[in-house]
Every structure is written in C-alpha cells, then in structure tokens.
Amino acid sequence: MVVRDRNKHRQNMINLERNMGREAFNEGAEIMPLANYSQLAPHDKRQAEMLTDEAGDQYWAGNIAIGTPGKTFLIDFDTGSADLWVPSVNCTSSYCSQKDKYNPATSSSGSHKTGSFSIQYGDGSTVSGPVYTDTVSVAGITVKNQYFSPVNTISPSFGPQADDGILGLAFPAISNLGQSPWFNTAKKQGAVKNGVFGFKLAKSGSELYLGGTDSSLYTGSIEYHAVTGSGFWQIKGASLLVGSNTIIDSGTTIIYGPPSQVAAFYKNIPGSEVYDSNAGFYSFPCASTPVNVAFSWGGKTWTISAANFNLGKVTATQCVGAIAGQDLGLGSNTWLLGDSFMKNVYSAFSFDSNSVGFATLK
C-alpha cells in the first residue's frame, strides 16, 4: 500500500514538472526515487454513481461504460490522479484474467491515437498501453472522445483487486496522458452544468455525485477552502498538532504526514510505538484508541472516529493507527488525507471555485 501510494505521487510530480515546471512544486517537494517492496438530477446535468466498499475500506469503486455499445467496468475513482485506464483484450497476463477488458474492435466510437501510456511501479512491473479516445459514461453522464489507455500490461498489485481500472479526478497538470481528465471533459462538453463533484464514503450508501453535491447526505453548509497547489486537490493551513498543507486523495487508503510530525503526534498517545519503520506505521494500545483526533482549517473541527483511526490489531493488545509518517515527495510540510479521513465527512471538490469543501454527514 505504501509503495503504491509513494510511486503514484512520484509519477504525479514528474507529470507536474513536465506540464507546469518546477516552480509549481511545494517548498521541499521533490521527485522521489522509485520505491520497491524491499523498501519502504439528469435535467440539471447532475447524477450520482453508487459506490461499493472494496477490500475492507481500502477503496470504493463504481461502474463506468466505455465505447459504443458501452462496455461496463468497475472503477476506482481517484482524486489523486488524472488519467483513465482499463485493461485491454491484449492484456493476457494472469493479473488481467479476472478483469473486464476493452476491445477497440467492438466499439464504433473508439479511435487509436499516437503515443503511449506507461507508469512504472516499485516492484518492476508496469501499467502500460496505447492511447485511445472513446465515449465514456459515468452515472448516465456521457463524454465523447475521452482520452484513456486500454493497458496491455498491469502491475501485480492490481491483479487481486476487484476493480478493473482507475478514473482520475485531479487536475490536468498531473495527467500522464497530457490530456483533459474525464470530469474536466464532461464540463467542457456541457455534460455537467457545474464543475463540482462530491463523495460520501461508508460501509454502505457510498456515493460519487457528479455536477454538484448531494444535500440529502449532509447537514448544514459545506465549508470550502481554496486549492493552493497546482495539479492536486491541495488546501493550506490544516492543523492536527502543527500547521500544514494537505492533499485530499480518495485513491489513498490512509493518512500520511511528514515523519517528524507524525512521530510528535504519536508521542501524545500513551503506549504508542513504531510498528513498521519503513512504512511509517505506529501502533497504540487498542484499549485506548483516541477519540479526539481531528483536522481543522480554521473553521469547523473534523474528527476522525475511533473506528476509522484504528486499522486493526497487530498483537493481542496493540492496534495500528491510520496516520503514517512517510515522505511522498509532495513537500516538506504536506499531509495526504486519504479515505481514513474522508469516511468522516462529506467531501466536495470544485473546479469552478478551485476549492475543496467538507460538510457533516447525516
């Protein structure tokens, strides 16, 4: 999990440098070496896609359709990346054997483009393939000529997962394809009225709402904060124990912070200790799981429930915490808030106002 997260954001930094230049980097940000496993409503043009909780809260997935006629794929919707890929019929490895596959020969709207798509993972395997455009629909919202990759090779880490691929919901600046991500294309083509989407992540009743937010799932107003970083859903001024930048990433399971700040955080939990120094995980006494871990951006305080902070037992008495210390190369004072945080709030992402917002779940 840590290796995949680190290498995803390594590739994002490479794409950001290529598309925007190094001046777009946060202070202290760098392109890290590759990690490996020995290291660390319809008329309003809005619609909801129901999501399923996969692999014990590791990610949430929903259906999309690609091609004409549409072929259905189960997809991980990822706010921390900006590209769409699914396996192709030319992926013959065992890692693709249980997945749905795209066949360009059966889609009347598909078109092969120049170039290629490739991401290197830390175990030496890759996700790579050609570049195509085709019609892509999510929750009845249809986009034409969307760039994506039907990959021929796939990382072993994706093989056991239930989802077929990933649809990125971040900014074009970190696109590995160098093209408009699906939701941005939907806004350009008028397929959605508003450039806003919202998430509810839970054991059941999870949802990705496109073209706005679903007010039936939260109470009160949404507290928005301006995005400060290029490419990422990054907001500034969070406080846990110290002030920091944060990146909100639905494609990351846990919460990552600078190692020194995370170490300082766990010093406030009696009985906590380093569990995995390479991955940055800490354990703490299960009987005293903290109930007041929270983030704030100067407004409301957003608390992480004890159930969401506790990732499970590692001994009879010690449990692992959902906050890990890891340098992902995103900046010297940057936190990455994944699903362990997002499960506690309704999250809204606005391209229109360039902001991220949170509201209290019903």
Of 78, 83, 163, 339, catalytic: 78
Is 276 a residue of the active site?
no
Q: Write out the H or E segment, with its range, that includes residue 29.
A: none
User: Which residues are CB-contacts of 143 (< 8 A; sequence separation ≥ 6)?
Assistant: 135, 136, 137, 182, 185, 186, 189, 191
Spatial distance between the Cα atoms of 54 and 251, rounded to a whole number of angstroms: 12
d(CA 95, CA 158): 7
First vs last Cα of the chain: how many Å apart? 30
Given the residues 76, 83, 249, 339, select the one marked as catalytic.
Answer: 249
Residue 37's contacts (CB-CB under 8 Å, 6 or more residues apart) are 3, 122, 123
Of 158, 152, 151, the C-alpha closest to 123 is 158
Q: Name residue 260's amino acid.
A: S
- Respond yes or no: is residue 5 known to be catalytic: no
Q: Which two tokens stand for residue 236?
A: 């500034």
Q: Are 62 and 200 in contact (CB under 8 A)?
A: no
Q: How far is the C-alpha of 197 from the C-alpha of 340, rounded, in Å?
A: 19
CB 129 within 8 A of CB 88: yes
Burial class from Cβ neighbours inside 10 Å (0-12, 13-18, 19+) for residue 173 reads buried
Burial of 87 (0-12, 13-18, 19+ CB in 10 A): buried
Residues assigned a catalytic role: 78, 249
